[in-house]
Amino acid sequence: MIVFASTRDGKSHIFLMNKDGSNLTQLTSGTQEDWAPVWSPDGKYIAFASNRPGKSDIFKMKVDGTDPVNLTNTQEASEWALAWSPK
């Protein structure tokens, strides 16, 4: 599977597709800008940066796009350039 961010209709969101390019699935939607997705080492989660007005936070969600959780939830900072530890 391949996870990536793509700007469509003026907003950037997270997409998932098979490695052969089939079965494109949009995992995030809404008015925010989602970008920089990375896989968890166990392959069960995707972490990504999400821009909202005035801030940017780090989220994680299940690989099917469900259960998004704001991990940073900051009011005065902008987080981005994330990476998972290999362990």
Phi-psi region of 21 (alpha: psi -120 to 50; beta: other; left: phi over 0): left
In a domain, 59, yes or no: yes
Q: Please indicate, yes or no, if residue 52 is contained in any of the structural domains.
A: yes
DSSP 36: E
Average pLDDT over all residues of the chain: 87
Q: 3-state class of 10 per DSSP?
A: coil
Any domain includes 82: no
How many structural domains is the chain composed of?
1
Answer yes or no: is 75 within a domain: no
pLDDT attached to residue 13: 94
Q: What is the pLDDT of residue 51?
A: 86
Q: Indicate whether 51 belongs to any domain.
A: yes
Q: Give residue 80's pLDDT.
A: 67
pLDDT at 78 over 80: no
Q: What is the mean pLDDT of residues 50-75?
A: 86
In this prediction the pTM is: 0.85
Does some domain include residue 85? Answer: no
- Domain boundaries, position 19: 2-70
Residue range 29-45: mean pLDDT, rounded: 90
Residue 12 located in a structural domain:
yes
